Amino acid sequence: MEMEKVVVVVFALSVVLLLGLAQSFDFHEKELETEESLWNLYERWRSHHTVSRDLEEKNKRFNVFKENVKGIHEFNKKDEPYKLRLNKFADMTNHEFRATYAGSKVRHHTMFRGTSGATEGFMYENVSIPASIDWRTKGAVTPVKDQGQCGSCWAFSTVVGVEGINQIKTKKLTSLSEQQLVDCDTSVNEGCNGGLMDYAYDFIKSNGGLTTEANYPYTAQDGSCDKSKLISSLKVTIDGYQDVPANNENALMKAVANQPVSVAIEASGFGFQFYSEGVLTGYCGTELDHGVGVVGYGTALDGTKYWIVKNSWGDSWGEKGYIRMARGIKASHGICGIAMEPSYPLKTSKNPSEEEVSSLKDEL
């Protein structure tokens, strides 16, 4: 009997290993030696990521790819606490990458932040902080999503916060709709052209909730608001939001200890574009251009402290879609500005029941 169990475990492990191998894309130093071997590497990368390019485009992109591969290779030779990887962004210039994936103009919107509707105070001011927390293990985090070529990170960041507090309050994890925010929250936020989480929280509150991912699925493009989806039993309500005191990682820890938190960061650097694994410790500034969700924090075996950050670039990026970012750096704004503008949704009211929604429908 014992023997059988062992066999099963070994088999399961090797399946996991095989799957893991199938997913990662590695290259050998030798492949960087000649123009021809680099071209072959490019072709191998394209087929791995099923990227099709016409010939002219391919020639142009090959040059970008070469630069990126060499940059990644040089970086990985250094003794840094994190590694880079030739991922799906490998034939995009940093400029293009920035425009599409980290171009959410968070900064542009933040000048209005003072006028938005945050509830005053900081409810977690006096809470004690555990040494570590990971909301994924507590069932408060949905699988990693992919924003595609649409600057809607702000919607994904907002949804991490709402899915989190909803699970904490109701014990039910429900994947919620980014697309409803992209299409319907348009008074200040700008769909695929960017937005800010605080406004999205305002919208969800005044809209009477946010519907489910299944009811209003993601399309990665701007669309017209499907108003019929605003009245639905499939939704989660919030009662506003609060800003975490700015530039205070200790305050951010208190908030994250209690629920997943939305943060704005600068994510347009080379290190972010090709991040693979480890704790990101530098090479970014504070030009906030991307919204993500902090779903925990901890300390690595070597003592490096980190935040656990859920990104929205699919699960092939980084650590299965997540990045660990240094915590407790000298600058009070935190790594990549992570402590500059955190906020989290408030939830005291119950989600509407079927009956409540159908009576609402009758009134209309």
Is-contact 249 283, C-beta < 8 A?
no
Name the residue among 119, 124, 117 with its Cα closest to residue 259.
Answer: 124
Active-site residue, selected from the candidate residues 68, 248, 290, 351 = 290
- Token look-up 């900064």 returns 107
The minimum distance between CB 127 and ligand NAG, in angstroms, equals 9
Q: Which stretch binds ligand NAG (CB under 6 A): 70-78, 92-100, 122-130, 299-307?
A: 122-130
Q: How far apart are CA 95 and CA 112, in angstroms?
A: 26
Could you give the C-alpha distances from 293 to 33, 141, 307, in angstroms and in order?
40, 10, 10
Whichever of 118 and 188 has its CB closer to ligand NAG, that residue is 118
153 counts as catalytic? yes
Whichever of 235 and 254 has its CB closer to ligand NAG, that residue is 254
Name the residue among 190, 333, 199, 191 with its Cα closest to residue 265.
Answer: 333
Active-site residue, selected from the candidate residues 87, 94, 109, 153 = 153
108 counts as catalytic? no
Q: Biggest alpha carbon distance in the chain?
A: 71
Whichever of 102 and 244 has its CB closer to ligand NAG, that residue is 244
- Decide if residue 125 touches ligand NAG (CB under 6 A): yes
- Decide if residue 123 touches ligand NAG (CB under 6 A): yes
290 counts as catalytic? yes
The minimum distance between CB 254 and ligand NAG, in angstroms, equals 10
- Decide if residue 126 touches ligand NAG (CB under 6 A): yes
The minimum distance between CB 257 and ligand NAG, in angstroms, equals 14
Strand partners, 83: 277
Strands 275-280, 322-326: pairing kind: parallel
Q: Which stretch binds ligand NAG (CB under 6 A): 88-96, 108-116, 117-125, 273-281?
A: 117-125
Question: How many CB atoms sit inside 10 A of residue 239's CB?
Answer: 14
The minimum distance between CB 134 and ligand NAG, in angstroms, equals 25
Could you give the C-alpha distances from 345 to 125, 169, 170, 239, 290, in angstroms and in order?
16, 12, 14, 7, 18
The minimum distance between CB 119 and ligand NAG, in angstroms, equals 11
- Which residue numbers are catalytic? 153, 290, 311
Binding site for ligand NAG (CB under 6 A): 121, 123, 125-126
